Amino acid sequence: MGGAWNAELVQWVRERAQAEGFNLAGVAPAPAAEEADGALTAERFRTWIESGRAGEMEYLKRRNAQGELLRGSARRAMPWARSVVVCGFNYNGAGPLSQDPDEAGRGWIARYAWNGDESGKAVDYHYDLMVRLRVVEGALRERVECETRCYVDTGPLLERDFAARAGIGWVGKNTCVINQGVGSWLLLAVIVTSLEVASDAVAAMSADRCGSCTRCIEACPTDALVAPREMDATRCISYLTIELKGPIPVELREGMGRHVFGCDICQDVCPWNRRAPVAAQAGLATRPELVNPRLDWLAAMGDAEFRREFQGSPLERTRRRRVQRNVAIAMGNSGDASFVPRLAEWARGTDAMLAEAAVWALRRLQSRED
């Protein structure tokens, strides 16, 4: 497959992606891990994994037969890969920031999980973006013969690294990709291709516009941003509330505040999001009940109601049991004694992880009353 990108084809794919609702698109080379740029990424990722930053996220640690980390280079899982089309989708739903004051007794669900369709049913961005991406992929393959593979979030490659190299934005000190016009409320979707890249065909890498700012690092309540652009995921509220299967380390619980699913703080404080445009996509709307959700509503949900509310939503994969573990901790941090009966019921229950979180929460409420 000897095709290659030229400036005209890059512009065409950008416009094709925009026609499918993506706000931004660009093309990045996919160098081998032995080439200079490829080696830098592979080494950065290896150091991150080997210093234990990935916690229980075993899928990030997969290696090939040679013992190399698969995600360190796109060519390790896909030897034919030569370039990656990166598409950015603005998901900034109309709504407050997590740090804006709100009524007592409310939790926080991360912004990317707020979406629903016109009937209010949850929409999973993985699925929605994949449908759009496949249309772009189909059009590309009609125009030029090539090998391709589409991923939204789950592929064995570092999407942010490619986004930065495709000119979508720079990697901020909070580790998120930030675009000067759209901000960082961007989901990424990628098409890996076998098309070679001529160096004058792709956009230059976006300039780093963080400057001397360190707001995200200072605002992180669990000190997960251990250095600019370096996260210790085992301390990140997003990891603790979404990925961690067992009990949440006691020393990080207070810092979790009212978060029950994901965390937006290091993006909420970012000056580049101050004027971020609100997403305007047909068929995607903010579900108001998920913005500052009532903790007692989430706590009272049985399996059937949880399924009804969150089937197709990113919360589905975290499951009711872990979401309620997070709710127990948020109740403990709330200072609101009206949650005591619910926590006492959980503390007597048969689910050991939930019971332990509830006992912690009861003690914390008690200690705040003393």
Q: Give the residue carrying structure tokens 């994994």.
A: 49
Residue from 22, 48, 114, 360 in contact with ligand B12 (CB under 6 A):
48
Contacts (CB under 6 A) with ligand SF4, residues 260-299: 263, 265-266, 269-272
Residue 171 interface partner, choices ligand B12, ligand SF4, none, CB cut-off 5-8 Å depending on type: ligand B12
Residues annotated as catalytic are 153
225: enclosing H helix or E strand: strand 225-227
The Cα 83–Cα 147 span in angstroms is 11
CB 47 → ligand B12: shortest distance, Å?
9
| CB atoms closer than 10 angstroms to residue 157 | 24
| Using rule CB under 6 A, residue 160 touches ligand SF4 | no
The Cα 84–Cα 165 span in angstroms is 10
Tokens of 139: 């059009």
- β-pair type (259-261, 108-109): parallel
CB 114 → ligand SF4: shortest distance, Å?
16
Q: Which segment (168-176, 270-278, 333-341, 360-368) binds ligand B12 by CB under 6 A?
A: 168-176
Q: Are 49 and 60 in contact (CB under 8 A)?
A: yes
| Using rule CB under 6 A, residue 44 touches ligand B12 | yes
Residue 177 interface partner, choices ligand SF4, ligand B12, none, CB cut-off 5-8 Å depending on type: ligand B12
| Using rule CB under 6 A, residue 164 touches ligand B12 | yes
The Cα 90–Cα 185 span in angstroms is 6
Q: In 274-292, which positions are buried (b, 16+ CB within 10 angstroms) versus exposed (e)?
A: eebeebeeeebbbbeebbb
Residue 308 vs residues 219, 300, 301: alpha-carbon distances, Å: 35, 14, 10
Contacts (CB under 6 A) with ligand SF4, residues 200-239: 210, 213-216, 220, 222, 224-225, 231, 236-238
Tell me how long the chain is.
Answer: 370
Residue 271 interface partner, choices ligand SF4, ligand B12, none, CB cut-off 5-8 Å depending on type: ligand SF4
Q: Give the residue carrying structure tokens 């004027």.
A: 275
Q: In 165-187, which positions are buried (b, 16+ CB within 10 angstroms) versus exposed (e)?
A: bbbbbbbbbbbbbbbeebbbbbb
Contacts (CB under 6 A) with ligand SF4, residues 138-157: none
Residue nearest to ligand SF4 (CB): 172
Contacts (CB under 6 A) with ligand B12, residues 231-290: 231, 233, 236, 238-239, 242-243, 262-264, 266
Q: 150 or 330, CB closer to ligand SF4?
A: 330
- β-pair type (285-286, 115-116): antiparallel
Residue from 82, 149, 160, 258 in contact with ligand B12 (CB under 6 A):
160
Residue 172 interface partner, choices ligand B12, ligand SF4, none, CB cut-off 5-8 Å depending on type: ligand SF4
- For CA atoms 221, 226, 227, 233, the dihedral sign is negative
Q: Which segment (58-66, 167-175, 190-198, 326-334) binds ligand SF4 by CB under 6 A?
A: 167-175
| Site of interaction with ligand SF4 (CB under 6 A) | 172-174, 210, 213-216, 220, 222, 224-225, 231, 236-238, 263, 265-266, 269-272
Residues that bind ligand B12 (CB under 6 A): 41, 44-45, 48, 57, 60, 71, 110, 112, 152-153, 155, 158-161, 164-165, 171, 174-177, 184, 186-188, 229, 231, 233, 236, 238-239, 242-243, 262-264, 266
